[in-house]
Amino acid sequence: APIANEHQILRRFGEMLSDQVSRIEAYSWLSAEREQYIYYRTDPCWTGYGAYCSYRSAIRRLGFPSIGYDQFSVMHCRSDYYGRLAQDVHYYEVQPDLVDMYTLRDQPQNETVTALRAEGAVPLPSYYLTEYADTEPEKIFAAAHEPVLRIETDNQSSKDLLLLSDAFGYSMIPFLTRHYRSVTAVNLPLAKEQGANPVPAGSYSQILLLCGADTLMSPDGLAALLPQSENDT
């Protein structure tokens, strides 16, 4: 049986949160941009621009001014990408998607990217793994491969962020790293699949939970923590 409808899940989960936990409302930003290319046509996730629209709302609630879109350079990694929806139903009679990489135009930032694996820390060359561009463009994001990833920057910020996310976090991370000394990103579905510790030891200034409805509403996801009522079935 289904857990509940999505709106009720999100509303009730929000009501259970402590007063010390802030809910970030990104719907108005996304709604205002609904005529723009904010969601992939062939994949159930937002595009890089969709992630940017949500970033603007999230980062302000986290206490930082957002960076203007015109300050980023956008490189189209692929312009013929067919995502999970197209692949699952084998339907390709639709315009393919763009897969983009975002970098600051005039203020490049030094970053050290490390995969925190069971066998130890493994350095990665970059967050963007361009060797996948020709074969599996959805995997150009290091967070798509690693249950736990840590990105350390030369940013003068004194804050460290713990990001608990799924595929929606992949394209958000390059924006978030512009504001933190470090970002530790946990891919919740992949961490569960591989049996990784979902919350690595560390001292975090802020924690951001960013998940799609599928992750929240899975039988063993966060929604499963909510008590069921007859109205939800």
Average pLDDT over every residue of 87-107: 93
Assess if residue 15 is contained within a domain: no
What pLDDT, on the 0 to 100 scale, is given for residue 1?
Answer: 34
Domain extent, residue 184, equals 25-226
Per-residue pLDDT at 5 exceeds 90: no
Helical H segments across the chain, by residue range: 6-16, 27-32, 48-61, 84-89, 167-170, 173-176, 188-194, 213-217
Whether 132 maps to a domain, the answer reads yes
Encode pLDDT of 116-154 as tens digits: 998 899 999 999 999 999 999 989 999 999 999 999 999
In a domain, 19, yes or no: no
On whether residue 136 sits in a domain, the answer given is: yes
For residues 153-171, average pLDDT = 94
pTM for the predicted model, two decimal places? 0.89
**Residue 54 belongs to some domain of the structure:** yes
Question: pLDDT class for 28, splitting at 50, 70, 90?
Answer: confident
Structural domains counted in the chain: 1
Q: What is the pLDDT of residue 8?
A: 67
Which among 20, 19, 10 is positioned nearest to 226, based on CA atoms? 10
The DSSP code sequence of 74-140 is EEEEEEEE--HHHHHHT---SPPEEEEEEEESS----EEEEEEETTEEEEES-SB-GGGTTT-GGG-
